Amino acid sequence: MVGMGVSAVNDLQRMEQMLLRMKDTSELMVDLAYSALLYNNKEIAQEVYHLEEITDGLYNKIQHFAVAQIAKQNATAALTVIRLATSIEMIGDSARGIADVVLREIEPHPIVRLSILESDVIISKVVVRKNSNVANCTLGSMRIASETGMWVIAIRRGSEWLFGPDENTKILSEDILIVRGPRSGEKSLCRLARPARTRGLIHRHKK
């Protein structure tokens, strides 16, 4: 970035940030799409469609910034970002194609059906209800992974997505947790995400 003005550097940094967000989004799309196919889960397949809207929006913004950079004679950096964004966008489109098989109710291949029977690991989504044991708590304080066996790989909060949440990430009411783990763990987490009753599964520690 030597020789570039402050505005040009800032634009390239914004493009890089959007590119990273596209990468995170497309990786989650692939995970969700394969899970939707393996377990014939239309809800998860629908999430792939929602995520594709995000990647498409980011792709359009990156193109807009890149055109401006080319006009400022920063063509090499801009074209590199465009090529990467295009590759990531193609991955997202492929994930949507997989999800589309589920939503169109196409019969899965026998090998896929066999994988379903042999695998105990699933990807699912859990809605956090108001006054549940996990609402307004951090992932670390609830020890969700160790207590239920489910790993929270992403959180949808309204129209926003949080990728790679860590132990300090706070869970809010109406968050949608995208989780991976055993079927039995999904049931345990769903119980915790419902409005709290008297049950001593996990103590509630608010921060």
- The CATH number linked to 64 is 1.20.58.220
Residues 172 and 133 in one domain: yes
pLDDT (tens digit per residue) in 148-175: 888 898 899 988 888 888 889 999 999 9
Q: Across residues 22-30, what is the average pLDDT?
A: 91
Q: Across residues 33-48, what is the average pLDDT?
A: 84
pLDDT (tens digit per residue) in 65-121: 888 777 676 777 778 888 899 999 999 999 999 899 888 887 766 666 666 556 677
Which one-letter amino acid corresponds to residue 103? L
Looking at residue 169, what DSSP letter applies? P
Domain assignment of residue 83, yes or no: yes
Q: Across residues 52-70, what is the average pLDDT?
A: 86
pLDDT at 23: 92
Task: Mark 45-55 as b/e (b = at least 16 C-beta within 10 Å).
Answer: bbbbeebbebb
What is the separation of C-alpha 88 from the centre of its chain, rounded to a whole number of angstroms? 14
201 — pLDDT class (breaks 50, 70, 90): very low
Report the domain count for the chain: 2
Residues 68 and 139 in one domain: no
Residues 87 and 143 in one domain: no
pLDDT (tens digit per residue) in 110-149: 666 666 556 677 788 899 998 898 899 998 888 888 888 8
d(CA 111, CA 109): 5
7 — pLDDT class (breaks 50, 70, 90): low
Residues 97 and 143 in one domain: no
Nearest to 28 by CA among 48, 56, 53: 48
Tokens standing for residue 113: 């059906």
Domain assignment of residue 12, yes or no: yes
d(CA 175, CA 167): 16
Residue 129 structural domain: 120-193
d(CA 9, CA 15): 10
CATH code of residue 151: 3.30.70.1450
Residues 48 and 126 in one domain: no
Residues 176 and 95 in one domain: no
End of a domain among 103, 134, 152? 103
